[in-house]
Amino acid sequence: MLRFADRDTTRLLQAGDPDPVERINSAGASGIFLTCEHAGRAVPAALGDLGVSPADMDRHIAYDVGAEGVARGLSERLDAALVLQRYSRLVIDCNRPLEAKDCVVRESDGTVVPANADVSDRERRSRFVEIHQPLHEAIAVALDQRRAAGKPSLLVSVHSFTPIMRATGAVRDFELGLLYNHDARLAERLAETFRAANPGVAVKLNAPYHVDDVSDFTIPVHGERRGIPHVLVEVRNDLINDARGQQEWADRLAGPLRLAADSFEGNA
């Protein structure tokens, strides 16, 4: 069980700031349990606009473009529980441990974040305790409750990635990445079922990056430590930057996810 700090001493979030966590379809019947760590672009009022332009807040550096819509679509199609997070990853990255350098970034893909230039250890921890912790507490509690009820869980973390990195010019010329660290079972099975249903779509394993048990959080903490099947799904964000694309990709992923999950029935 995760240990959580006392929140009474933190003072970042104020009245009027949104709750970090939204729970959707908590009683969903599916064994699939969805998370979306980079769904939102909210910034606490105390941090102003972070010194970042509106145009940059629309980029992948601020949130996972389209991921929330895909996650909500999957929740609806699969009758699956979903937990999502509302604050911008430029405030704090909720898929990184506190000690990771990019948990609070000073610069992201060529864009400087002025409000993060001189963040003290206390301020960094405040963001972690008030935004990051409630998300992962919600995930942990939900998974504990499912286990206590004898309900299987397969963890699916929904993300998106940019086709071109502005700072380096690196091109990601595929549509879907399926990521894992030590346990490839669900990622490999989903790759099979997705390719069978979508033969014209390029799918890669562990791209655009590899999950790491030092720099990632959801998969190592909630998937690997519990020993439940898991996968981090990355959809290229130019394909899901509007409602139509998000619904199309929810449709594309739902069937293959259901088939992949069926492979684990009784074992999750």
pLDDT digits (tens, 9 = 90+) for 6-54: 444 458 999 999 999 999 999 999 999 999 999 999 999 999 999 999 9
Q: Can you read off the two tokens belonging to residue 59?
A: 């980029």
Residue 42 is given by DSSP the state B
Q: Are 251 and 184 in contact (CB under 8 A)?
A: no
Q: Are strands 154-161 and 81-85 parallel, antiparallel or unpaired?
A: unpaired
Q: Can you read off the two tokens belonging to residue 163?
A: 């086709």
pLDDT tens sequence across 94-117? 999 999 999 999 999 999 999 999
Task: List the chain pLDDT tens, one digit each, 268 residues.
Answer: 344 444 444 589 999 999 999 999 999 999 999 999 999 999 999 999 999 999 999 999 999 999 999 999 999 999 999 999 999 999 999 999 999 999 999 999 999 999 999 999 999 999 999 999 999 999 999 999 999 999 999 999 999 999 999 889 999 999 999 999 999 999 999 999 999 999 999 999 999 999 998 889 999 999 999 999 999 999 999 999 999 999 999 999 999 999 999 998 654 4
pTM: 0.94
> What is the distance, to the nearest Å, from the Cα of residue 171 to the centroid of all Cα atoms in its chain?
22
Q: Are 71 and 36 in contact (CB under 8 A)?
A: yes
Domain 18-262 fold is Aminopeptidase (3.40.630)
Collapse the DSSP code of 177 into the 3-class scheme (helix H, G, I; strand E, B; otherwise coil) and give the result: strand
Task: Give 128-132 contacts, CB < 8 A, sequence gap 24+.
Answer: 128/92, 128/98, 128/103, 129/5, 129/7, 129/10, 130/7, 130/10, 130/12, 130/13, 130/20, 131/12, 131/13, 131/20, 131/85, 131/87, 131/91, 131/92, 131/94, 132/20, 132/92, 132/94, 132/98, 132/103
Q: Is 136 exposed, middle or buried (0-12, 13-18, 19+ CB in 10 A)?
A: buried
Q: Are strands 107-108 and 176-179 parallel, antiparallel or unpaired?
A: unpaired
Beta bridge partners of 164: 171
